[in-house]
Amino acid sequence: AQSVSQHNHHVILSEAASLELGCNYSYGGTVNLFWYVQYPGQHLQLLLKYFSGDPLVKGIKGFEAEFIKSKFSFNLRKPSVQWSDTAEYFCAFGNTGGFKTIFGAGTRLFVKA
């Protein structure tokens, strides 16, 4: 079955700490991979995406993610988090022609000032 697993449900960090959020997907074909962010009280917006090419992708606000095909993983990283990064982060994958994007359960990140 197609699924996305996010390893951490809640993460609490202090400002300037490094962040890594784990994401693994289950699908045998070619996928498009996404990280979306939902700031408190707001809608989801795209943080970064991978469709093809360089497996290390950079997104907004200093975030990056690495696609490791052999591990079916697409982990999100940021070297130094800020208080304003407090949000819910969703990993997702879609497959062209599938008309459905599968979302993970989300990771709630709280950054202490």
Partner 1 sequence: DTAVSQTPKYLVTQMGNDKSIKCEQNLGHDTMYWYKQDSKKFLKIMFSYNNKELIINETVPNRFSPKSPDKAHLNLHINSLELGDSAVYFCASSQASGDTQYFGPGTRLTVL
Q: How far is the CB of 95 from partner 1 (least distance, A)?
A: 5
Looking from the CA of 83 toward its CB, the CA atoms found within 13 Å total 2
Q: How far is the CB of 85 from partner 1 (least distance, A)?
A: 16
In terms of CB distance, is 18 or 110 closer to partner 1? 110
Give the 3-state secondary structure of residue 84.
Answer: helix
Residue (of 16, 79, 5, 87) closest to 46 by Cα position: 87
In terms of CB distance, is 24 or 95 closer to partner 1? 95
Contacting residues toward partner 1, per CB under 8 A: 31-32, 34, 36, 38, 42-46, 49, 88, 90, 94-103, 105-106, 108
C-alpha span between 67 and 70 (Å, rounded) = 9
